[in-house]
Structure 1
């Protein structure tokens, strides 16, 4: 796919910008209301400062009127998609939700968004809404992310996309580490992080920070989506020989979980075991075990009142430095920082330096 150049965008201080969010039956309500609240709160902050509101907010759907969300509540679409002129829209957002798969099979909708990408100022997605942009061919050759549960699907179905799993969003107006015209965000509340990034680019850090404080949010959340989601790889589809091992592993993270030891337990040669495991679970045995240990450590650290040394020992890392490196690989944050941010009680700290 040949990228089209992004249309020129208006000076953010020259006139109101329209933020339009697409709604469909089965949409995740928070994917719409979360990001749009950021822009609504920006208007409130601007008025408090004696300025004019900066954003017009529009929800559109296949037809104007009520849209059933996956939560069972209904949102009201202001306009029908056929009545939207993308050239007059600064930013179009595509949310996710249970109904996204039906939307992705509609050739007319995909064609509309493909055309809209060349006309609107910015086009982004929230959560699994990235699958619509992917199906329209708009993410080929670009970095993209989506809800962690749909990453494997995106990787398999759209190999031309540069999938990044441990990112909250791929918006980057400089184009150095993302894209300022077509971009994506990760699961659900990451759409709020994306909206804050858009707001900061539009009106600067001070206004974005004021909105983040009012919403009780980080302006820029540390780490990526991985630290807020469970690494629970489903065993569905795994071979019968692996089923017993997969059930045994979580309670035995301190055991010898080398390739040879696990292969022996599964009754296979190490070579066959590695091939079957990777085929059935999409991860190497070592990567799977490390993820399980990180997930177990997260749970202990969230409970508080435990040292990093003890967590490392209980979860099979052996040494705190080994656990620290694993946390950085998977969560982009150290165990101590994780515990201090997300622990339920005052963190006990480490009994020895952890580096």
Structure 2
């Protein structure tokens, strides 16, 4: 006999991101249909209870006004979207967020919904994340929040924040695993044809996708050289000779155009290339370490821990490309 439903409230507002809402609602719906011992009762609520436009142009009709939400809640989730700044300035909304958070076992945000939680004072003194493109703004606007732009989601006590858009799916799968165990979470992920599940500490954006190639010709040529010679000697003196400049000038160029040192850049490229090999091949760690220019599997492991906060073996278990029937 199922237990009493877990009360979940999703907070929406004008120009919210539809996927921020749908990812949470659909994961919990799938968990219910797969037999969650205590099913989730999900309600969408807004300040006025009226239909509201999402940023995509589609309109959602909420179940209730926020002032109609009473009693204890299991989970409170604030969506993000291009309307998050206006939402964070709405004092009525913030009062409801604070009130409902006090009644909730856990409080969460998806994407830029973190800005609403921060405006409500719920992230002060806490570590949090948000969409990578908005992390700098969040940190500047709310200096009491320790903003980490890297992870897919962050848990600090009973408060959870997730990165951009579909990371809400990863966060909600983590909720299902917390509440019902890994088997149900795995089945939900399979039903949704997604990973089970990308760990919260996985980086949001690979450095290979994070921006255009450097405009400076020498730096651009060197980054191409690094990518093509990962197994070779890529020390700063070698790269400087390759570019025909001094090591000091090389360091200045990397700092100006890549925001890092040559050594750190090379280590990061090697770690990310190793990650691609771990998820896309069945090569042993020794072979991957050698091909990526790491002197040993232990050196590879240390670089992986520094960059992904997880060992290579665990990364491979999560990211191996498995086809589901």
The alignment's TM-score, normalised by the length of structure 2, stands at 0.74
CA-CA distance at 1:163 after TM superposition: 2.8
Q: 1:61 to 1:272 in 2, by over 3 A?
A: farther
| Aligned residue number for residue 184 of structure 2 | 210
| Aligned residue number for residue 98 of structure 2 | 118
Name the SS for the 1:127 alignment partner: coil
Q: 1:275 to 1:88 in 2, by over 3 A?
A: farther
Q: Which residue among 163, 170, 177 is the counterpart of 1:186?
A: 163
Matching of residue 225 in structure 1 with residue 225 in structure 2 = no
| Aligned residue number for residue 21 of structure 2 | 32
Whether the 8 Å CA contact 1:127–1:146 is kept in 2: the answer is yes
> How many angstroms apart in 2 are the aligned matches of 1:199 and 1:309?
36
Q: 1:160 to 1:269 in 2, by over 3 A?
A: farther
Q: Which residue among 318, 321, 329 is the counterpart of 2:306?
A: 329
Name the SS for the 2:130 alignment partner: coil
Q: 1:164 to 1:23 in 2, by over 3 A?
A: same
Q: 1:345 to 1:215 in 2, by over 3 A?
A: closer
Q: Which residue among 38, 44, 47 is the counterpart of 1:58?
A: 44
Q: 1:191 to 1:247 in 2, by over 3 A?
A: same
Question: Unaligned stretches of 5+ in structure 1?
Answer: 1-12, 172-177, 347-355
CA-CA distance at 1:274 after TM superposition: 3.2
Whether the 8 Å CA contact 2:170–2:197 is kept in 1: the answer is yes
CA-CA distance at 1:45 after TM superposition: 5.4
Whether the 8 Å CA contact 1:24–1:61 is kept in 2: the answer is no
Whether the 8 Å CA contact 1:24–1:67 is kept in 2: the answer is yes
- For the aligned residues, what is the CA RMSD? 3.9
CA-CA distance at 1:221 after TM superposition: 5.1
Which has the larger displacement, 317-326 or 154-163? 154-163
> How many angstroms apart in 2 are the aligned matches of 1:223 and 1:329?
15
| Aligned residue number for residue 93 of structure 1 | 77
Q: Deviations over 1:298-330 (max 9, x none)?
A: 222333243333322222223222112212222
CA-CA distance at 1:144 after TM superposition: 0.4
User: How many residues are aligned here?
Assistant: 311
Q: 1:271 to 1:148 in 2, by over 3 A?
A: same
CA-CA distance at 1:142 after TM superposition: 0.8
| Aligned residue number for residue 84 of structure 2 | 103
Whether the 8 Å CA contact 1:60–1:77 is kept in 2: the answer is no
> How many angstroms apart in 1 are the aligned matches of 2:89 and 2:44?
21
> How many angstroms apart in 2 are the aligned matches of 1:132 and 1:236?
34
CA-CA distance at 1:276 after TM superposition: 4.7
> How many angstroms apart in 2 are the aligned matches of 1:238 and 1:112?
47
Matching of residue 283 in structure 1 with residue 256 in structure 2 = no
Residues 1-355 of structure 1 mapped to structure 2, 5 A cutoff: 17-25=7-15, 27=17, 29-44=18-33, 54-60=40-46, 64-65=50-51, 67-70=53-56, 74-78=58-62, 83-85=65-67, 88=70, 90=73, 91-97=75-81, 99=82, 102-104=83-85, 108-109=89-90, 111-120=91-100, 121=104, 122-134=106-118, 138-151=122-135, 154-155=138-139, 158-165=142-149, 167-171=151-155, 178-180=156-158, 182-198=159-175, 204-206=179-181, 209-216=183-190, 222=199, 224-226=201-203, 229-232=205-208, 233-235=210-212, 242-265=219-242, 269-344=246-321
Q: 1:294 to 1:128 in 2, by over 3 A?
A: farther
